Structure 1
């Protein structure tokens, strides 16, 4: 690995008119104890691993731009500047086809008014696809608040602290090196711990591209690989690909909040079944995940 000067990398990313910085801030504000993410007004500080080394990412939002800084506890690998800009653009949802989506569905009888109220809505992203998968597996069949608590303990069990004091969200290598007992002690079930370790080992072995957001492998191909892992189902795959790769065509028909808010939107006496929700979402391909995000937005986009 070629290394360069250890000084922080700094860059500025232009933002489109009407960019909804508060959605991004809310997504990273989920943990009130701010173990790995600290959010103050228009600033986010996030602990992560950069090529296996603890790092701190700082984003500061202004009206038309975001100032970006990455500080690594060690020499900065060459090529980090381009990788950083690509990662942050994806994290902010700037690669998502929001404009085309809004134009295409502006006249839809049910969704048109919803989209108009939440114009410019994007799905905030995790720093890496692997982080999105850990969040998806952690959140299976438990409440958001419970998932946040388990995630905090998972970070303490498998992560490491950056010199700033922020804890870094574990990468695949750290999880693969963490024993199953430690993961279960953090609140993960036996099945979830085994799932995360199995995926981590595939990533470390180079058979699954979940750490590099610039991976050439298509989201659909990665989804097929994930579906083959015990403990991972369609909801987990769609959620992880949405939050990690910015793939906007995942069908989140199994999501409880999507079904509950679809019931409110359609004004039906009963909550739609998963099959009914899937059938309703199907015509909106390739934007089904964006539709789900707007359904979440009927209440809040922060917690999902």
Structure 2
């Protein structure tokens, strides 16, 4: 790990005995070029914008705790330790009630063995809801590899670089005035570029207050607001709610990897339709998204 900035904010977070640090590291290691996230065996470094300023978030995993460092450019320290701890706990999935989920479904004939093999599985979160929503839009109907490449170019075109060299995922204020063609040049379709611009404008106008929604806003309220944005459909909403807000009940029946792995789990020869997957997942509310995460884990390279 790079030598901590003497002005960096530091917090230590206890981890449960079955915490799966490798899941967090793998999530942030999808881009092998590591321009915005750098991963080692037990450490994560991620460029983020904190109050609009480039910062490097470093998380060091130990047997029973995670130590987080936040180093803002300019030697300032505008964050509070409670804010840093809250963000990191959310990013690590520590607010997710996985113990209750596992206890409830441990005897299920199909899912029970899957859950037992992946005990303690949590869904790693993005640093901000905006990042999750952008990733969901970028990833619509394309492979993970293609989405990662577009995300990388998007960050380099619109984001800012921390003094450590890490690129920081942009916030809405960095995107809102960007020309559509600049976004198109990253590989985004015209529709996707327009959708990202639209949500950025609405965030700036405070009609889409994603960060404020982190605090006890019902998922149904967020879903209803997002549904009004052209280019955002059910899969995008469920994925953004899962990765950005930790909502465990989004139905990801439209996800190709979920359907493929569910087909394998059920021993079906023919492909499952979206309707069949939706009906099957309905029986697991309020855990449908966490069930999808376990289905992703059946083939770790197959899902988002």
TM band (smaller chain): over 0.9
Cα distance, 1:302–1:273 mapped onto 2, change above 3 Å:
closer
Cα distance, 1:303–1:283 mapped onto 2, change above 3 Å:
closer
Cα distance, 1:45–1:303 mapped onto 2, change above 3 Å:
farther
Cα distance in structure 2, aligned partners of 1:180 and 1:209: 22
The answer to whether 1:63 aligns with 2:60 is no
CA deviation digits over 1:52-101, x for unaligned, max 9?
Answer: 111110000001000100011143225x3211111100100000010000
Match runs of 1:1-304 below 5 Å: 7-74=7-74, 75-77=76-78, 80-211=80-211, 214-300=214-300, 304=304
CA deviation digits over 1:168-194, x for unaligned, max 9?
Answer: 011111111221111001111100000
Q: Name the SS for the 2:300 alignment partner.
A: coil
Cα distance in structure 1, aligned partners of 2:301 and 2:88: 19
C-alpha displacement of 1:216: 3.8
CA deviation digits over 1:238-286, x for unaligned, max 9?
Answer: 0000000000000000000000000000011212111111100001111
Q: What runs of 5+ residues in structure 2 fail to find an aligned partner?
A: 1-5
- Asked if 1 retains the 8 angstrom alpha-carbon contact of 2:10 and 2:67, the reply is yes
TM norm structure 2: 0.95
Cα distance, 1:302–1:166 mapped onto 2, change above 3 Å:
farther
Q: Name the SS for the 1:260 alignment partner.
A: helix
Cα distance, 1:256–1:116 mapped onto 2, change above 3 Å:
same
Q: Name the SS for the 2:283 alignment partner.
A: helix
- Asked if 2 retains the 8 angstrom alpha-carbon contact of 1:219 and 1:247, the reply is yes
Aligned to 2:3: none
CA deviation digits over 1:21-44, x for unaligned, max 9?
Answer: 000000000000001000011000
C-alpha displacement of 1:218: 2.4
Cα distance in structure 1, aligned partners of 2:289 and 2:124: 12
- Asked if 2 retains the 8 angstrom alpha-carbon contact of 1:139 and 1:147, the reply is yes
Q: What runs of 5+ residues in structure 1 fail to find an aligned partner?
A: 1-5
Cα distance, 1:302–1:14 mapped onto 2, change above 3 Å:
farther
Cα distance in structure 2, aligned partners of 1:128 and 1:303: 20
- Asked if 2 retains the 8 angstrom alpha-carbon contact of 1:128 and 1:212, the reply is no
TM norm structure 1: 0.95
CA deviation digits over 1:191-248, x for unaligned, max 9?
Answer: 0000001001111111112235743422221111111111010000000000000000
C-alpha displacement of 1:160: 0.7
- Which deviates the most, 116-125 or 171-180? 171-180
CA deviation digits over 1:143-185, x for unaligned, max 9?
Answer: 1000000000000111010011100011111111221111001
RMSD: 1.4
Cα distance in structure 1, aligned partners of 2:302 and 2:215: 27
Aligned to 1:3: none
Aligned length: 298
Cα distance, 1:248–1:298 mapped onto 2, change above 3 Å:
same
Cα distance in structure 1, aligned partners of 2:191 and 2:298: 33
Q: Name the SS for the 1:77 alignment partner.
A: coil
